[in-house]
Chains A and B, each alone.
Chain A
Amino acid sequence: ETGVTQTPRHLVMGMTNKKSLKCEQHLGHNAMYWYKQSAKKPLELMFVYNFKEQTENNSVPSRFSPECPNSSHLFLHLHTLQPEDSALYLCASSQDGGSGANVLTFGAGSRLTVL
């Protein structure tokens, strides 16, 4: 496989459930990102990992918990979510988190619905 792969593509969960989103990149990149995309709103950066170290946490509620076991895999653990958390969650990777052109390669996203 090539590029950035996200699973599951669709997820419906209740507010008391625990679930995880998975992201895998096969590009040899060293930085990985979680973004939230809501309709008609700008992309919201949630977390950044650079060389497996978390370098960014944009005041994300603790019900979202990221995990980066290696530079190819990124998880987003979900617990006691709210209906307003329903959105498309996009994973992205880039060569590194530095100052070059740093083009992002995105996955197709996980569409989350919280009931």
Chain B
Amino acid sequence: GQNIDQPTEMTATEGAIVQINCTYQTSGFNGLFWYQQHAGEAPTFLSYNVLDGLEEKGRFSSFLSRSKGYSYLLLKELQMKDSASYLCAVRDSNYQLIWGAGTKLIIKP
């Protein structure tokens, strides 16, 4: 079966750095997505990786290793507004999106 694993919950301190990991086992690979979802709000697109390596977008970076079936989302200079759930999703060989259950990130002052 197809599976996406990510930690259920993480806690970090304002101003610090946090890395949210995502491992996947899917039938084929056609890209990996990260979405952010604040409580009671719509998920919003953060990043898309299809080739190995690091993609940087301001305070957020996303890394992909296809050979290891692994990605991480790196958040720097954490702010209270970064408290949210972070969803990892992989597109398989049929271009179907397989979703993880999300990581709830709690930022403490």
Q: Are B31 and A101 in contact (CB under 8 A)?
A: yes
Is A104 engaged at the interface, CB distance under 8 Å to the other chain? yes
Bound Cα distance A4, B42 (Å): 9
Main secondary structure, interface of A, reads: loop
Determine the chain B residues whose CB is within 8 A of the CB of A107 once the complex forms. 42
- In the complex, what residue of chain A is closest to B43 when comparing beta carbons? A106
Is A54 engaged at the interface, CB distance under 8 Å to the other chain? no
Is B30 engaged at the interface, CB distance under 8 Å to the other chain? yes
Q: Are B48 and A103 in contact (CB under 8 A)?
A: yes
Bound Cα distance A100, B50 (Å): 11
Contact with B along A83-114 (1 / 0, CB 8 A): 00000001000000111011111111100000
CB distance from A43 to the nearest CB of B (A): 4
Determine the chain B residues whose CB is within 8 A of the CB of A106 once the complex forms. 35, 42-44
Quick one: which of A43, A97, A103 contacts B99, CB cutoff 8 A?
A: A43
Q: Are A103 and B30 in contact (CB under 8 A)?
A: no
Bound Cα distance A98, B91 (Å): 11
Contact with A along B78-97 (1 / 0, CB 8 A): 00000000010101000111
Bound Cα distance A101, B95 (Å): 10
CB distance from B63 to the nearest CB of A (A): 18
9 A-B pairs with CB atoms under 8 Å apart are: A42-B98, A43-B89, A45-B97, A101-B31, A103-B33, A103-B45, A104-B43, A106-B42, A107-B42
Are A101 and B48 also in contact (CB < 8 A) when A42-B4, A90-B42, A108-B40 are? Answer: yes
Q: Are B45 and A104 in contact (CB under 8 A)?
A: yes
Bound Cα distance A45, B30 (Å): 18
